[in-house]
């Protein structure tokens, strides 16, 4: 293995995807920030969900909002639907894995909430059903995606679609955009 070459190629690809994401994301990012700020100001919450690395991102972002991002301030109501092992296992066992997020959205989300599904492929059935349930509840059904968007296209709005087919690069942009969302919300809500 040429470690030096690998190292350089990974950074080169990261930089290309970051530049392409920057060029493509301003409008959907602006919309997501506006909808999220309006939801919080209206007494609503932000919910995140996804599988694997996207589950970890969901937990990370919900924690940044509920606890703190850059400064101590009032808690911003946010939660990850990936953390309750009893609910996750009961839903998977009693219904199906495909219903993991839809069932929780039905139980926990209300009209006016912002629900953000995270999927690098846009093909995860449980994420798709979770967003469908969010729309049925009258929530904003938003998503972070990649690889052309898959089934998120036409379902999630706003859709922050990273212009890449490489899972690791998409995940890097998702956490970057997610942390930017946290920072922007602190500013929009008057905490910065």
Q: What average pLDDT does range 1-18 have in this prediction?
A: 96
Q: What pLDDT score was predicted for residue 85?
A: 97
Residue pointed to by tokens 């953390």: 83
Evaluate if residue 188 carries a pLDDT over 90.
yes
CA angle, residues 37, 55, 157, in degrees to nearest 5: 40
Q: What pLDDT score was predicted for residue 192?
A: 81
Domains and CATH numbers, the chain: 3-188 (3.40.50.10490)
Evaluate if residue 23 carries a pLDDT over 90.
yes
Strand, coil or helix: what is 192? coil
Q: What pLDDT score was predicted for residue 1?
A: 80
Mean pLDDT score of the chain: 97
Q: What pLDDT score was predicted for residue 86?
A: 98
Q: Among residues of the chain, what percentage have pLDDT more than 70? A: 100
pTM of the model: 0.97
Q: Half-sphere exposure of 16 toward its Cβ, with a 13 Å CA cutoff?
A: 10
pLDDT per residue over 111-159, tens digit each?
Answer: 999 999 999 999 999 999 999 999 999 999 999 999 999 999 999 999 9
Q: Among residues of the chain, what percentage have pLDDT more than 90? A: 98
């Amino acid at each position: 293995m040429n470690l030096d070459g690998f190292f350089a190629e990974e950074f080169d690809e990261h930089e290309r995807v970051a530049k392409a994401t920057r060029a493509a994301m301003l409008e959907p990012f602006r919309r997501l920030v506006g909808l999220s700020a309006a939801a919080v100001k209206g007494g609503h919450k932000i919910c995140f969900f996804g599988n694997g690395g996207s589950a970890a991102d969901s937990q990370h972002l919900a924690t940044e909002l509920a606890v703190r991002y850059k400064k101590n301030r009032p808690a911003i109501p946010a939660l990850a639907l990936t953390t309750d092992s009893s609910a996750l296992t009961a839903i998977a066992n009693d219904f199906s894995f495909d219903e993991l997020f839809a069932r929780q959205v039905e139980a926990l989300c209300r009209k006016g909430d912002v629900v953000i599904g995270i999927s690098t492929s846009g093909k995860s059935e449980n994420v798709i059903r979770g967003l469908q349930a969010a729309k049925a509840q009258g929530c904003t059904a938003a998503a972070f995606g990649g690889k052309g968007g898959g089934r998120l296209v036409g379902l999630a709005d706003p859709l922050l679609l990273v212009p890449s087919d490489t899972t690791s690069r998409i995940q890097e942009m998702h956490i970057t955009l997610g942390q930017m969302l946290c920072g922007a919300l602190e500013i929009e809500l008057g905490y910065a």
